[in-house]
Amino acid sequence: MKKYKNPPQSQWSSLSQRPTQSFAEIEETVKAIFKEIQTKGDNAVAKYTSLFDGIKLDTFLVAENEIKEAEKQISEDLKHAIALAKSNIYKFHSAQKTNKIEVETTEGVVCWQEKRPIQKVGLYIPGGTAPLFSTVLMLAIPAKIAGCEEIILCSPPDKNGKINPAILYAAHLCGVTNIFKVGGIQAIAALTFGTASIPKVYKIFGPGNQYVTVAKQVATQFDTAIDMPAGPSELLVYADDSSIPAFVASDLLSQAEHGTDSQVILVSNSQKIIDEVENEIENQIQVLPRKEIAQKAIENSKLILIKKENDALAFINEYAPEHLIICSKNETFFIDGIQNAGSVFIGNFTPESAGDYASGTNHTLPTNGFSKNYSGVNLDSFSKAITFQKIAEHGLKNIGNAIEIMAEAEGLQAHKNAITLRLNALNNE
């Protein structure tokens, strides 16, 4: 890990850079695949599935018998763990429901707002070296609570043309409509345009690698919404001398093992803590099955000594981490002052892994500094707000003249006439 001692603010921007390729470097590849899938549909999807996943498929749709077979492969312990996680995720997201908001803004003028579900949503679930069945829970559960009519899931197949059984089990448990064996750029493009096999959706959710992240951003150019640009995972830990170095190291490694392009950062006001955490990382990484992946991510990561808490908080807000862990005796200072973070974990016994799986919060979060302007996935992500209004005759009289004056001032005579005609009719009764 690279080490920095009290870096000046002029270096913060460079310290906040993620180890990923730029949008421009990937965009050309993504757009070429999008164009081919837009014109050739399933044939192009099959081509890129063969190219990238190494498997030729006759059909992309997961059959009922495959789902039943997957259920048999899941241990009872895992089923109970998934049930616990599902319960907590359901509780937290159900609590986010809001009632209709109705206001009489002026006597006779009633305005209200109601939420409506997005009818068709696409869920992208990464496969590869770490099939994230937990992400199925994080996306499908709030989609069902919101009332989405079609929940389409795409996940890359393995070399045998199968999707990880835990992904299939979780998807079936959470009420996913259809599951397709498609991954990467081609999955996002298929959900964007629709093919003979795969439905077009209105909004795409889910994390992915750099190519999936750019593909989602390109999808927005074709009238498809996305949850956020959620790319390679990242974690920043703030730890003072009240922290437990072994715990801090375990948290940093838990994110480093996601992928070689993940990034983890430790910020501390104590050189002693930094040294102890570094030693713990060296010891703990040796026994990890994903040691090689974690090691490469650690090479892109940083240990930063910042003596003043005000400066540390300012740097954290500049970095805008996906995940932030606060292990500080002055935790309230950081809780109150954090402006930019996807999800925050507080105290020595609140590991980031809890949010990844079973505490109840959502783990689909903005990365690469996007927590400055994006929220993580929540219940509102799966709905949109529609406003309504109803104006009584006396209500129109109360606001009509103001509307006429404003419309005329903007030079929009037809707008004014729509009011004047009604007011004249009412005055002539």
> What residues form the annotated binding site for Zn(2+)?
255, 258, 356, 415
133-158 in b/e form (b: 16+ CB < 10 A) is: bbbbbbbbbbbbbbebebbbbbbbbe
Helix H or strand E encompassing 216: helix 210-219
Closest by CA to 207, choosing from 333, 57, 374, 62, is: 374
Residue with tokens 């009238």: 223
Is 323 annotated in the active site? yes
Q: Write the burial class of residue 267 (CB in 10 Å: 0-12 exposed, 13-18 middle, 19+ buried).
A: buried
Asked whether the beta carbons of 273 and 318 are under 8 A apart, the reply is no
Is 257 annotated in the active site? no
Closest by CA to 258, choosing from 226, 301, 219, 218, is: 301
The 3-class SS string of 260-323 reads: CCCEEEEEECCHHHHHHHHHHHHHHHHHCCCHHHHHHHHHCCEEEECCCHHHHHHHHHHHCCCE
Helix H or strand E encompassing 114: strand 109-117
CA end-to-end distance (rounded Å), the chain: 81
DSSP class of residue 197 equals: S
Task: Pick the catalytic residue from 93, 172, 323, 363.
Answer: 323
Closest by CA to 288, choosing from 261, 253, 264, is: 253
Query: Residues annotated in the binding site for substrate, as ranges?
Result: 233, 255, 258, 323, 356, 410, 415
Q: How far, in Å, CA of 367 to CA of 376, rounded?
A: 10
Task: Pick the catalytic residue from 234, 280, 322, 352.
Answer: 322
Angle at 37 between CA 160 and CA 54, to 5 degrees: 20
Strand locations in 156-216, DSSP E? 178-181, 203-205
Query: Residues annotated in the binding site, as ranges?
Result: 124, 186, 209, 233, 255, 258, 323, 356, 410, 415
CA 322 to centroid of chain Cα atoms: 10
Asked whether the beta carbons of 18 and 260 are under 8 A apart, the reply is no
Q: How far, in Å, CA of 226 to CA of 154, rounded?
A: 15
Question: Which residues form the catalytic set?
Answer: 322-323
